[in-house]
Structure 1
Amino acid sequence: MLRLTRILLFFLALLASTATRAQTAYTIESIPDPKRTGGGFVSNPDGILSEGEVQQLNGVAGQLEGNSTAQVAIVIVNSIGQENPKDFATRLFNHWGIGQADVDNGLLIFSVMDQRRTEFETGYGLEGVLPDAVCYRIGMQELVPYFKQEQYGQGLLSALIRIKTTLEDPEALEEIRSGGGQQYGRKAFQPVPGLPAALGWYIFVNGLFHLFLLLWLLYTTYSKQDLYDRYRAVRRVYFFVFIILFPLPYLLVYFYLKYRLNYLRNHPRYGKETGKLMHKLDEQADDAFLESGQITEEEIGSVDYDVWVTDDGDETLILRYAKRFSKYSACPKCSYRTYYHAQTRTLKQATYSHSGLQEQIYSCKNCNFQDRKLITIPQKTRSSGGSSGGGGGGGSWGGGSSGGGGGGVSW
């Protein structure tokens, strides 16, 4: 009986020890900073990702930083205890200083396994290019399907490649490098230290802001003569409201702008040359007036075209409506927005004695043009701090900051 009791106590102690280890929660300070443990972009202290997956992520993140100056940190841990992943991600982002200080173009992809949650935390300078809705969509389309199958490395890689494609769009690159996202980012709306927080001040400032927004809306809507120009002007206001001001008080403005966009796009118009009334063709009929590349753009959803014609066919008007966020960019050969990142292949694995080689394949859906880019996978480095993602990204983060932008997904 005594022996049985000892055996039982031993197993209870073993179980308690295992539970204690399983519940070990990371703090902001205890998560290994990959820039301090090898110079990479991935912190993987619990070994959830394989070394090969860490090297692949480092390769893509390193190329993104080289092309756009944007810095991406990938962190995956078993637990942060009872802390909220979103709040934790914001504090970790600012603790490390991800992104360049002058433009705040950093991104943190933070996964917590026991809470089954991944947060995409953006710096101020990326909020215009990667708003909450886009981060959520990337997470649901690229990351969640793989995570549900416990393919965590592949899910992170797929999401990172999608983000890389989005950020390397020519318009996005200009905004990221110039810090254009800060123009409408949360940093611009931070309260001035010492400003009274009384209700009267809030009502006064809020009233002025709404008046400014109304005047801006009226000006951008009616300062243009052409309906298409009006549509594009209102669309800019629409995205500003949707991405930056989306909270409930602005829902009426949001729905009004949505109605206004639909009205301007579909309202009957007259030919500029003949003055005759024009009508819009349906999606099947308008293909007869589009080039093959334009039809391909419509098929893959990167661009939508409206074709207006007069009843006698004397005048035709083709209007282009590009999708703001798409994995497709302009093809260097045919110029249509049908060019995308098709595949990444590892040609040679990196080891502790030599670097590896990776091939990224870009392809055009229209003209079948292909471009292959070779990327050096940094040589593996040994460190005493676990698998924190050595190699690939230089010595330190750039001193960027975040105000809580970005979105999250659960799996």
Structure 2
Amino acid sequence: MVRGLRASGVVALAIVICACSQGQPSSSSAAADANAQIADRKNPFPPTGLVTDAANVLTANQRAEMTQKLAKFESRTRHQMAIVTTPSLGGRDVAVYTKDLANSWGVGRKGINDGIVILIAPTERKVRISVGHGLEERLPNALCQQIIESEMLPSFRRQDYAKGLAAGADALIAHLR
């Protein structure tokens, strides 16, 4: 579960398409704690809930609507999805950045590894859907790439980040029903 978050999210944007990542479960809690400490140094902003808009591309109403949708999804399925926007990847690979962020924030249930992070970095024009190991069979890379290309990027190209993020989250939720 996202530490300190009951209703938040994660997002990123791209012309370069990146699909789902397949996080590996930790072999021990000590390793998980060490990874979280490393990731915390690499991700300079804390989560603010299921939707964390560090790039300031969403209105308060858009954040609230997305948060409500993700909280309802988590309540119904117990899977946790976060939407995150970041002002910059800091020169890091979007896949690594998203995985580190998901691990450091603790998105998903420990031991089940069923978290999902949608990340957009509007400045670098990157987007990533990162899926925990526990959901990779239901949300494979090809499906995540298809969701990015068909549901999210058309809106992102018009700089309508809220619509693209909502469409991506809706598509992921629909596939997990």
TM-score relative to the length of structure 1: 0.33
- The corresponding residue for 2:42 is 28
Superposition map of 1:52-71 within 5 A: 52-71=61-80
Q: Distance in 1 between matches of 2:142 and 2:55?
A: 30
Aligned residues of 2:55 and 2:121 also touching (Cα < 8 A): no
Q: Distance in 2 between matches of 1:33 and 1:78?
A: 14
- The corresponding residue for 1:91 is 100
Q: Distance in 1 between matches of 2:113 and 2:43?
A: 22
1:116 aligns with 2:130: no
Q: How far off is 1:133 after superposition?
A: 0.3
Letter in 1 for 2:176: L
Q: Distance in 2 between matches of 1:110 and 1:161?
A: 15
Aligned residues of 1:71 and 1:99 also touching (Cα < 8 A): yes
- The corresponding residue for 2:137 is 128
**Secondary structure of the residue that 1:73 maps to in structure 2?**
strand
Q: Distance in 2 between matches of 1:46 and 1:117?
A: 13
Deviations 1:12-47 (A, max 9, x none): xxxxxxxxxxxxxx963422212xxxxx30111232
- The corresponding residue for 2:148 is 139
> Which 4+ stretches in 1 moved above 3 angstroms?
26-29
Please tell me the root mean square deviation across aligned C-alpha atoms, in Å: 1.5
Aligned residues of 1:146 and 1:154 also touching (Cα < 8 A): yes
Deviations 1:223-276 (A, max 9, x none): xxxxxxxxxxxxxxxxxxxxxxxxxxxxxxxxxxxxxxxxxxxxxxxxxxxxxx
**Secondary structure of the residue that 2:66 maps to in structure 1?**
helix
**Secondary structure of the residue that 2:112 maps to in structure 1?**
coil
Aligned pair partner of 1:72 in 73, 76, 81: 81
Identify if the C-alpha distance between structure 1 residues 92 and 78 changes in structure 2 by more than 3 Å, giving closer, same or farther. same
1:153 aligns with 2:165: no
Q: How far off is 1:163 after superposition?
A: 0.8
- The corresponding residue for 1:103 is 112
Q: Distance in 2 between matches of 1:158 and 1:80?
A: 23
**Secondary structure of the residue that 1:32 maps to in structure 2?**
coil
Aligned residues: 138
Aligned residues of 1:32 and 1:45 also touching (Cα < 8 A): no
Letter in 1 for 2:55: D
**Secondary structure of the residue that 1:118 maps to in structure 2?**
strand
Give the number of the structure whose alpha-carbon radius of gyration is greater: 1
- The corresponding residue for 1:47 is 56
**Structure 2 gaps, min length 5:** 1-39
TM-score relative to the length of structure 2: 0.74
- The corresponding residue for 2:13 is none
Superposition map of 1:211-226 within 5 A: none
**Secondary structure of the residue that 1:100 maps to in structure 2?**
coil
Identify if the C-alpha distance between structure 1 residues 47 and 27 changes in structure 2 by more than 3 Å, giving closer, same or farther. farther
Q: How far off is 1:118 after superposition?
A: 0.6
Letter in 1 for 2:44: S
**Structure 1 gaps, min length 5:** 1-25, 35-39, 169-411
Q: Distance in 2 between matches of 1:151 and 1:56?
A: 15
Q: Distance in 2 between matches of 1:28 and 1:92?
A: 8
Q: Distance in 2 between matches of 1:69 and 1:27?
A: 28
Letter in 2 for 1:31: F
Deviations 1:300-330 (A, max 9, x none): xxxxxxxxxxxxxxxxxxxxxxxxxxxxxxx
Identify if the C-alpha distance between structure 1 residues 30 and 57 changes in structure 2 by more than 3 Å, giving closer, same or farther. same
Letter in 2 for 1:32: P
